[in-house]
Amino acid sequence: MFDFENLDVYKRAKSLNKEIFTFLRGNKKIDRYLRDQLRRASISTVINIAEGSGKFSKADRKNFYTISRGSVYECASLLDILLDENGIDIEKYTHLKEQYETISKMLFRLIESENK
């Protein structure tokens, strides 16, 4: 087992990525560019956590966790756009935004722990 597979933030991000993929598969009317951006940002969140956990220096780990957190922010803003464009209902939007907020806070704590 890889170290990142034990991280709660990795598990949550991976689960949310699956949920995003399911959502996108079920909503073909969403603009192709938005679908692609959300898919990529969601994947980036997960893979940067994994890659960062394998780095030896605190600075390298912090950098990858920061990139992952940036991808979380990208996903959150894409959800805002989808809501504005009626591409997502308010219940699903609220649920996904709450999940991204939780992951963002978890990543913040990881980033801060690399400063110690």
pTM value?
Answer: 0.96
Q: Could you state, in chain order, the average pLDDT of each consecutive group of 10 residues for the chain (116 residues)?
A: 96 98 96 97 98 97 98 98 97 98 98 92
8 Å CB contact between 69 and 114: no
* Locus of tokens 């597979």: 5
- Domains of the chain, residue spans: 3-113
Determine the pLDDT at residue 42.
Answer: 98
Q: Which residues contact 98 (CB under 8 A, 6 or more apart)?
A: none
Give domain 3-113's CATH superfamily: 23S rRNA-intervening sequence (1.20.1440.60)
Token representation of residue 107: 């990543």
Token representation of residue 28: 């073909």
8 Å CB contact between 109 and 62: no
Give dist(CA 35, CA 76) in Å, integer: 13
Determine the pLDDT at residue 116.
Answer: 81
Determine the pLDDT at residue 14.
Answer: 98
Give dist(CA 105, CA 107) in Å, integer: 5
Determine the pLDDT at residue 81.
Answer: 98
